[in-house]
Structures are given as C-alpha cells and as structure tokens.
Amino acid sequence: MVFAATICIRLCCYALRCMTGYRKGIWQRPCDIVIWMIPRIFKAFTFLLLAGWAPLALTQAAAPDPGRANPRNVDATQFGDIVGLGPNWLFAPGDNPAWASPAFDDSGWKTVSAEKPLTDYGYRDLHFAWYRIHIHLRPGTRNLMVGTMGIAGNYEVYANGVRLGGSGKMTERLLSAQESLVSYAIADNQVGERGDLVLAIRCAVNWGSSMGRGASTPLNSQSVYLISRESAPPLASYVAAHQGGPGLLLSILALLAGVISFALYFALQTQQEYLAIGIYLLADSLMEALQLWLNAVRYSFPAHVLDFVLVSVLTITLIEFVRLVLHMPRTRWLLALEVVCSLVFLLTPLHTVGIISNTLNSVFFIPVLVMKIVLPVMLIRGRLRGNREAGLLLGAILISALADYWYFLRNLAYYARLNSLLPYLPFNIPLGSYWVTFYQVGEFFFDLFILIFLVQRTVRIARERNRVAAELEAARSTQELLLARSAQPTPGFHVETIYYPASEVGGDFFLVASMPNRGLLAIVGDVSGKGLLAAMRVAMILGVLRREDCLEPAAVLHNLNEALLTQGESGFTTACCVQVEPDGRYTVANAGHISPYIDGLEVATPPSLPLGIAPDQQYASITGSLAADQRIVLLSDGVVEARSSAGELLGFERLAQLTLKSAREIADTAKDFGQEDDITVLTLARTA
C-alpha cells in the first residue's frame, strides 16, 4: 500500500509538470519547489504515522479483553428499553440446524469480537456461519424483541431454538446487507423461567466484501440489540432518520442545483458547462436517493454496480465541467484521464467479489487520486489567469479532494492491518445527534458552492446580455435613422419602401436618390452575417453610397465593390441598382442579388459575383423602358426564403404573382408566411 501511495505521489508530480508548463514564466520556480516537496512531505507523514502507531499497537496488544462482554454469560437483568449485545460472540463456521437449540453444547466454540474481521481469526471463504450468545434476564421479562442492523449478508435469528425471522434468502450470498433497524418479537413463553435466553444468528456469509472474496464479516459491534416492544418503533424511526437524514438533505440540495443548471442550459444552450454540472448534480442526487432506498430495504450487488456507474458519471462530468469553465480544449491527456478514472470505478465491483486483489484495486485508484490533484491545479492556473469563477470552484473541489485523500489514508491503514490507527483517523464527525462523513461534508459544500457559482454566472451573463441588448438597441436606432434618410423626396415618381429586420438589427439596406435631370437612382442590397457586424457594414455601405458622384448603376456597383475590398475581411454583399430617367428609360446592374420584377415578370440580369469578393469587377447593365402604368419591384431574399411552420418555402413560384401587390402587401405576406431573414421591398413607379 505504501508503494501504491508512492506511485500515486510520483504520478501527481508528473501531472503537475504536464499541467502547468512549469518551465515557462513564473511557473518554473514555484512548481520546482512544490514538486520537490510533495514526496518528502508524504514520506515524513508516513514515518510519523508509523512511529506513532508502534507504541499504540504494543499498548493495545497488552490490554486485556473487557469482561463486560462474555458471550457465555451476558447479564441483562437490568434491561430496560434497549441493551446492546456483543461485541464478543461465540462463533462456528458451517451450518447445522441443531446449533439454534439452547441445549446445544457450544463449549468448543471460539469467542470472536465483532470489532475485528473474521480474517483476523483465520476464517476465509465461509459459506455459512453461526453466532451464539447466552443472556440472563430478570425472571418474568416480557414484551421482548431482538433488533438487528448493519448486518452483512442474509441471516436468520433464533431465540431459544425458535426462529424469529430473518432477512434475505439463505441461498443468495453474492453481496447483500441490511443497514436499517429491524426488530423480531420474542414470545413471552420463549424466555426461560429463570430468564435464560440463548440467541443464535445463522448467517449466509457474503461472497464479496471490501476486503475481497470470502473475507466478509457479518456482524459488527452494533448489529444486535435487545429492545422492548414499546421502544422498537420509535427506535427504528430514530435510526432511519439518522441514517438517511444527511443523505436526504444532500439529495434534495443536489436535485435543486441540478434542476437550476438544466433550466439555465435550456435558456443558454451555448453554455455547455451548465449541461455538464447539471448531469453531475442529477447523478449525485440519484446516488444519494439510491443509498436512502438501500438503507431502508436491502443492499444488493446490482445496486452496488449501479452505485459505481453513477460515480463514474460523476467523475467524467466533473472533469468536463472544470474544463468548460476554464475554456480549455479537450486534449488527449484529459480525455485519457476521464476514460481511465471511469474505468477504475466500473472495475471496483470486481474487487468486491474477489476477482481483483486488494493491491491491484489500490493501484487502480491512483488515477482517481491524480485527478483530485489535477483539477485543483487547473483551477489555480485559471484563477491566476483572471478567471474569478475558478477561485470559487477551487474551494468546492479541494474539500472533496481532501475527503478522498483522507479516505485513502484510512484504507491504507485498513488494508495494511493497522486497525489500531483507525480511531485516530476518523471519517465521521458528530453533528448534534447525527454523524456525517467527510464525503457528505464535501458534497454539501460542493453543492452550495455550485449554487453560488450558478447565481454569479447567471448574473454575469444577464449583465453581459443587457449590455449587448443596449448596444443592439443603439445600433437599431442608428440603422433606422440611416435608412430613413436613405429615402429622399422623389418628384415625378412614386416610391414605397418597407423594411422588416429579422432581429434587432438587420443586414439589408436600400437607398433612393434623386438625379440632377429629375431621374431616380434606387439600390437594394443584403450583406452577409447578422447582428452588430452586419449593421456596421450596412452603415459603411450607406455612407459610401451617399458620397458616390457617379449615377450609372454599373459604376455604382464597381465603386462600392472596391470600397468594400479596402475594409479587409468583411464578408460579401449582394445588391441590385436601378436608374430610371424621367421619360421611363431604365438601366439595371446586378451584383448577385435577386433580379427586379416589372408587372410580375422577372427582368433577367447577367450573372455576376457579389460585392466584396474580387477586385476590378465589371458589372454588365441592361436597359429598358418603364411605361407610366408600370411598376418596378426590388426586394431582398428574405421574401423568397420565408418558411412556413411546416418547413415550406415561399419560393420564386409565388413571387411573380406576389410582386403585383404593393410593397407593404408583399412584405406582410412574406412575414406572415414565416419570416426567417430580413425583408426589404422597394417599389418604384412613374407618376402621371
């Protein structure tokens, strides 16, 4: 075990080197010191631990067994409401129905202590075993019950040779346990006239145990009691509340935090860390609920496997959560850590049933211990780089990591047969009348910190969104003002423009300008992209068009193309430009945009590249004549790309008939059909 711990420390140091990039910048000297100190601190701690244990072991070895628990003569004449039996019992391996009889001669049976594993007495690979104890009560004792709890394996209880009851099938002995307090009534006529009572417990010994196959110990020092019938129900309720109270609190807290996490994820689906921690918290809540149910019913091997499957899920989602909070990529070594740690927990049930040895199982847990160092190191690095949320999570994960390492030290002492050290390495702490484990303390603070994290993260995101919304509102107002100024007075022409942005700001634009010869220039376009960036491009394009001196459509598009190219990576822009003379003659140039329509017929334009893609583009022009009763329609692709709830596009087939309507009717029809993009419609007609 010490060797396994040393390997763990070495791997942790190597992980520190890999994680921190310790040769770079300010990390070099601190990491050298930490990596140099960790193995030496561990060795010093191990030396002090063993040095303190040596005199303690000698003292306890010399101490005699307490005489209060002689299993051949237990004095219970002062019995009131409850009395504990043990820790010493008469014990025999095997199975014989005659061993339940009070007349059976058990003088050859060995006395064992329930405070020690049966392996300390040389017993291994047991199928069945019997415990007996001789009790002396006051003559005439009535209303008596036997209470059992914390028994590993299935069992039957006998009082003076009469079977009182039992738990589980005696033929099933893979892995089971009863944690709750169960009481069995002793008939008043079963107690001897002088108050003699022989209690016998027949056990189907678990095949699997924490010490490996065939090393299970059915009873512990607090497994069997004599209870009055009046006290049994309230005692059972008291035990159930104290066994399940902390777990119920943790399950509710984790469930609450998990529901909040999922609600935030569905509201902010770009924040994947909400999904990761939501899965973690719901799995944690399910695991606590599973433990509550098992304590109330019976522990079994399928439940044991499910428990470790949930722990495996917790491990993967915790690593993913930390990675996402720190905005780290999923590197190969991090993925390998997730896979190895999850496999460790999935293989643990194999150790329980004895397929994997204690030593190998301890080596398997080294990656988990390494992970408990890697995650705090990742968070420390994130905090030093300015991630405030990493500092909050660091405290939560450190508490659970310390609980893991403290539990590892207890297992180190347990598997090394240093049981005398266990009282000095407590894992349970009193909280009023309750006892809670370090794991439960760690889970409570972790869930609490996660709730604080969710509140802080949500408030921060809400503030950022409010700031972005304010910026979008300002951009929308600016864009509306720019577009409003894009429609100048047009004597001799009737012009109607409708603009429906798909969001706060859009990427469509239009411009209507009078010509010195009383003609008219109109242009409708669409920039790629959405949001503020598209709005900025629209503002830039409108500024360029207002400064344009040339009024020939092809020249306008050519100059706009060159202006866009000087802006660098600005996407592309489609546009259609129309010039109409007072006598009705028109010229059209198109740059990848939807062609104009006249009287429901498309005005075919030569194909050409959109603006902002290639320099020195020449755009061909077409000419025609617009009668006094005709109208030319320019529109953006938001009209034809309108999509119904059934997924049907409005399309070009409907567009020809639609363009016979007014600009507002065209835009409203597309919007009602199912707007998905900005909608712009411009209609132009000569007045009489």
476 assigned to some structural domain = no
- At 316 the pLDDT is 92
Question: For position 529, what pLDDT does the model report?
Answer: 77
Q: Is 372 exposed, middle or buried (0-12, 13-18, 19+ CB in 10 A)?
A: buried
CATH code at position 133 = 2.60.120.260
Cis peptide before 102 (omega within 30 of 0): no
Same domain, 247 and 280: yes
Model pLDDT for residues 657-684, shown as the tens digit of each residue: 898 999 999 999 999 998 888 899 999 9
- DSSP lists the bridge partners of residue 92 as 130
Q: What's the confidence (pLDDT) of residue 18?
A: 44
Q: Which range among 33-37, 47-51, 141-145 has the greatest average pLDDT?
A: 141-145
Q: Which residue has the higher pLDDT, 516 or 177?
A: 177
Give Cα 667 to chain centroid, integer Å.
Answer: 46
Whether residues 158 and 301 share a domain: the answer is: no
**Distances in whole angstroms, Cα of residue 544 to Cα of each of 486, 511, 556:** 12, 11, 10
In this prediction, residue 435 carries a pLDDT of 84
**Predicted confidence (pLDDT) at residue 453 exceeds the cutoff of 70:** yes
252 and 194 in a common domain: no
pLDDT of 365 > 80? The answer is no
Does 36 have pLDDT greater than 90?
Answer: no
Measured CA to CA in angstroms, residue 347 lies from 339, 356, 468 at distances of 12, 8, 49
pLDDT for position 539: 81
User: 327 and 417 in one domain?
Assistant: yes
Residue 560 has pLDDT above 60, yes or no: yes
- Domain of 411 in residue numbering reads as 2-28+240-461
Percent of the chain with pLDDT over 90: 27
- Reported as a pLDDT band with limits 50, 70 and 90, residue 47 is very low
Environment class of residue 541 by beta-carbon count within 10 Å: exposed (0-12), middle (13-18) or buried (19+)? buried
Answer yes or no: do 215 and 250 share one domain.
no
In a domain, 269, yes or no: yes
Q: How confident is the model at residue 108 (pLDDT cuts 50, 70, 90)?
A: very high
Question: Residue 29: pLDDT above 50?
Answer: no
DSSP assignment of 525-586: EEESS-HHHHHHHHHHHHHHHHT-----HHHHHHHHHHHHHTTSS---EEEEEEEE-TTSEE
Q: What does the pLDDT read at residue 364?
A: 66
Q: How confident is the model at residue 98 (pLDDT cuts 50, 70, 90)?
A: very high
Please give the average per-residue pLDDT across 97-108, as a whole number. 93
Q: Write out pLDDT tens, residues 236-256.
A: 888 888 888 888 999 999 999
Distance CA 657, CA 600 (A): 6
What type of residue is 557?
L
* pLDDT, position 28: 42
Count of H-run helices and E-run strands, the chain: 15, 26
Higher-confidence residue of 16 and 474: namely 474
Report the C-alpha gap between 59 and 55 in whole angstroms.
6
Packing angle of the helix pair 531-546, 438-484 (nearest 10 deg): 20
| CATH assignment of the domain containing 513 | 3.60.40.10
Q: How confident is the model at residue 450 (pLDDT cuts 50, 70, 90)?
A: confident
pLDDT over threshold 90, residue 482: no
Each residue's pLDDT tens digit, 265-285: 887 777 888 899 999 999 999
Residue 512 and residue 366 share a domain? no
- The CA distance from 4 to 10, in Å, is 10
Count of other CB atoms within 10 angstroms of residue 373? 20
Confidence of residue 218 (pLDDT cuts 50, 70, 90): very high
535-553 average pLDDT score: 82
> Which pLDDT value is given to residue 471?
59
Alpha-carbon separation of residue 245 from 285, 328, 446 (angstroms): 14, 38, 18
Residues 512 and 488: their CA atoms lie apart, in Å, by 6
**The pLDDT value given to residue 483:** 56
User: Do residues 517 and 662 share a domain?
Assistant: yes
Residue 450, both tokens: 């996660």
Question: Would residue 249 count as lying in a domain?
Answer: yes
Between 349 and 654, name the one with better pLDDT: 654
pTM: 0.64
Most confident of 64-68, 69-73, 131-135: 131-135
DSSP state of 630: -
Give phi and psi for 557, each to the nearest 5.
-70, -40
Distance of CA 410 to the CA centre of its chain: 29
- Of 70-84, 236-250, 469-483, the range with the lowest mean pLDDT is 469-483
Which one, of 169, 160, 92, lies nearest residue 126 by Cα?
A: 92
Weakest-pLDDT range from 51-60, 239-248, 301-310, 468-477: 51-60
**CATH code of the domain in which 321 resides:** 1.20.1070
Domain membership flag for residue 49 = no
Query: Is 469 a member of any domain?
Result: no
| pLDDT at 157 (0 to 100) | 96
**Residue carrying the six token digits 């009055």:** 228
Distance CA 177, CA 184 (A): 17
Q: Are residues 532 and 617 in the same domain?
A: yes
Q: Of 210, 230, 250, which residue sits at a domain end?
A: 230
Same domain, 244 and 391: yes
Query: Predicted confidence band at 62 (pLDDT cuts at 50, 70, 90)?
Result: very low
Treating both helix axes as pointing N-terminal to C-terminal, what angle do 272-296 and 232-267 enclose, rounded to 10 degrees? 170
Residue 328 CB contacts under 8 Å (≥ 6 apart), including other chains: 334, 378
257 domain-assigned: yes
Q: Which residue has the higher pLDDT, 32 or 600?
A: 600
Mean per-residue pLDDT over the chain, rounded: 81
* pLDDT top residue among 370 and 162: 162
> Where does a domain end: 446, 461, 476?
461
Work out how many domains the chain is built from and give that number: 3
Distance from C-alpha of 147 to C-alpha of 157, rounded to nearest angstrom: 10
Together in a domain, 282 and 201: no
Distance separating alpha carbons of residues 616 and 123, to the nearest angstrom: 93
> In the structure encoding, which two tokens stand for residue 348, read together?
């643990």
pLDDT of the residue at 472: 61
Q: Tell me the per-residue pLDDT of 280-318, one tens digit each, with 9 for 90 and over.
A: 999 999 999 998 888 888 888 888 888 889 989 999 999
Mean of the pLDDT values across residues 504-523?
A: 83
Instruction: Assess whether pLDDT exceeds 60 at residue 101.
Output: yes
- Given a cut of 60, whether residue 485 has pLDDT beyond it is no
Q: Does a structural domain hold residue 466?
A: no
Is the domain of 407 the same as that of 553? Answer: no
Residues 49 and 52: their CA atoms lie apart, in Å, by: 5
The predicted pLDDT at position 669 comes to 92
Residue at which a domain ends, from 461, 495, 513: 461
Both 423 and 501 in one domain: the answer is: no
Q: Are 195 and 138 in contact (CB under 8 A)?
A: yes
- 74-75 and 128-136: which strand pairing? parallel
Phi-psi region of 531 (alpha: psi -120 to 50; beta: other; left: phi over 0): left
Tokens found for residue 396: 């939560």
In a domain, 35, yes or no: no
pLDDT for the residue numbered 476: 60
